Homo-oligomer: A and B are copies of this chain.
Amino acid sequence: MTASQADHSGRSAPDGAAYVAPRAPQIEGRDRTGDVILVCEHASNAMPPPWGDLGLTAEQREAHIAWDPGALGLMRGLARRLEATCIAATTSRLIYDCNRAPDMPGAMPARSEIHEIPGNAALTPAQRAQRSAALYVPFHDALHALIAERIALGRRPVILTIHSFTPVYFGTPRSVEFGVIHDADARLAQAIVAEAQARTGLKTGLNEPYSAADDVTHTLRLHATPYGLVNAMLEIRNDLIATPEAEAAMADTLAPVLAAAMATLTRRKDI
């Protein structure tokens, strides 16, 4: 018997992976008329029942391992400035990281940077399937429905995922402030880097602080590539978006960068 069948019959699987109702992501600005759909898989550090705190301390649950601090506020600021729709996960990436496929080690990590995650140390297959069904599948179904509707209406959405990264990782300071990462289609990422370098003082890098080879472009592969939609992943150093004021200031800086990069692609008829 599969986990989902145990679920619907109301019985628990032997390893305790009982049915959990799907947790829908939060969608804002569904009616906005801009081209962009902004995606924030790591918006929340909420650790709701039945999973709870996974054995982590309050300090660990506030840290970057549990979410991308500042990313949600920055996304909302960008969404208002770009007249964009945005979608955000409502559960911590440590319970399920919606930017990872269910078989990737980072989907339900047993370790993140230097921290052990006790509640993920010995997950059974049924427990992994339970989290995937409750968190991963509804997140991507909601995003897929948004994209399919736009495409059916004759629009060509631009997919941008919004992330933040820690200034120091494994003890080493990171050199970039703003990273732009691409998967199969580099066009938009390259245009954003060019505009950021021309228009801002941000230390900007292409495929920094990591790249598609690190399994960080799952959302883009799942939703943008199959439809030929232009796309990129944005990474902002989290000390630059540590307060609501800083988030707003970064949105003021980056919104014109993104608009100019999209205008470049539109002129070249790439969008």
Binding site for B on A (CB under 8 A): 1-5, 30-31, 101-103, 125-126, 128-129, 131-133, 136-137, 140-141, 144-145, 148-149, 151-154, 156, 218, 221-222, 225-227
Contact = CB atoms under 8 A, between A and B. Distances in A.
A221 B221 CA distance: 10
Nearest to A183: B226
Given A140-B144, A225-B226, A226-B226, A151 B31 contact: no
Given A31-B2, A149-B2, A226-B218, A103 B154 contact: yes
B149 A101 contact: no
A2 B153 contact: yes
Nearest to A101: B227
Contacts of A140: 144
A125 B101 contact: no
* Copies of this chain assembled into the complex: 2
Helix, strand, loop or mixed for chain A's interface?
helix
A153 B133 contact: no
Q: Most chain-B Cβ atoms within 10 A of its Cβ — which of A2, A102, A152?
A: A152
Given A141-B144, A144-B141, A226-B222, A101 B5 contact: no
